[in-house]
Amino acid sequence: MITTGSIAEIQSLIRKYKAEGKKIGFVPTMGALHDGHLSLVNKAREKSDIVVSSIYVNPTQFNNQEDLQHYPRKTEQDKSLLGNCGCDILFLPSDEIMYADKSIISFDFGPLDKVMEGEFRPGHFSGVALIVSKLFNIVQPDFAYFGQKDLQQLSIIKTLVKDLLFNIEIVSVPIKREPHGLAMSSRNERLSEEDRKEAKIFYEALNAAKNIISEKKSTEEAKSKVQELFKNHKAELEYFEIVSDKDLLPKSENYLAPDTVLCIAGFIGNVRLIDNMYIIS
């Protein structure tokens, strides 16, 4: 695996591979890799001749500076994992490379970035769109792979690609879960063993709501059940929404449809977790 932090070097490599007719698959990450990330790399291997990954903890997408400071960083371990699962090039830039000057560009995605994560993390998706745009311009991939766990981010990036005419196919990869159901996340590194067990409530709440809606088609009962599960629990519920994956707006009818997705977020201590589940999977 070739590792570089130089834009000129990675672009030279990409130009050479493209001149040979090779397809480029790209997996952008913020490091602290787990099996969910590696599933993206494995998926990229299926359609791509060359797999490129990046590790960069992007400061502009953090509205909570404490979260940025505590975000887990395991670069040497990550490099080993990527090399072992077939990544060809790792782009490992510094802040000085990615933000040589303070950026004045911001993005507004209308309703897409005002609900759920956008409501509770103002400015987050503008930062995501900014760094993804930079990485797409640097790597120029044919395919880019993102996990379904960050469903709202996935919708934002698809909109970004469509509106800015990036010639890139966005590929969604299903959520990878820990044995008790907790969605794999780099932030799980900050949970104690006890907290990891407690955090399974997010998965349990999604399943309970899915069962209620599937059997009774009652969204109000599903929402009440989720709130009840979090009462007197160590975990704190921030939101639970039943939305369409097309626009992320709350659904008012036709709940038993392929686009209906249950979205949840909350805290275990000071660690914020998100998850989602489709009604029809």
Q: Which residues are annotated as a binding site for beta-alanine?
A: 61
The answer as to whether 179 is a domain residue is: no
* 192 and 169 share one domain: no
pLDDT, averaged in runs of 10, over the chain (281 residues): 98 98 98 96 97 97 86 94 96 96 91 93 95 98 97 96 98 96 94 93 97 89 95 94 93 88 96 96 81
For the annotated binding site, the residues are 30-37, 61, 147-150, 153, 184-187
> Looking at the structure, do residues 205 and 164 belong to the same domain, yes or no?
no
- pLDDT at site 33: 96
**Which of the residues 37, 70, 124, 233 is marked catalytic?**
37
Phi-psi region of 32 (alpha: psi -120 to 50; beta: other; left: phi over 0): left
* Count of structural domains, the chain: 2
Instruction: Note the pLDDT of residue 198.
Output: 94
The confidence score (pLDDT) of residue 70 equals: 83
What local confidence, expressed as pLDDT, does residue 101 receive?
A: 87
Q: Would the CA dihedral through 22, 24, 25, 31 be positive or negative?
A: positive
Q: Does residue 180 fall inside a structural domain? A: no
Q: Quick one: pLDDT at residue 281?
A: 81
Give dist(CA 34, CA 189) in Å, integer.
10
Asked if 169 and 209 sit in the same domain, the reply is no
Domain residues for 47?
2-173
Give the pLDDT confidence score for residue 261 in this predicted structure. Answer: 97
Tell me the chain's radius of gyration from C-alpha atoms: 19
Is-catalytic flag, 70? Answer: no
> What pLDDT is recorded for position 162?
97
Tell whether 87 and 212 lie within a shared domain: no
CATH number for the domain harbouring residue 234: 3.30.1300.10
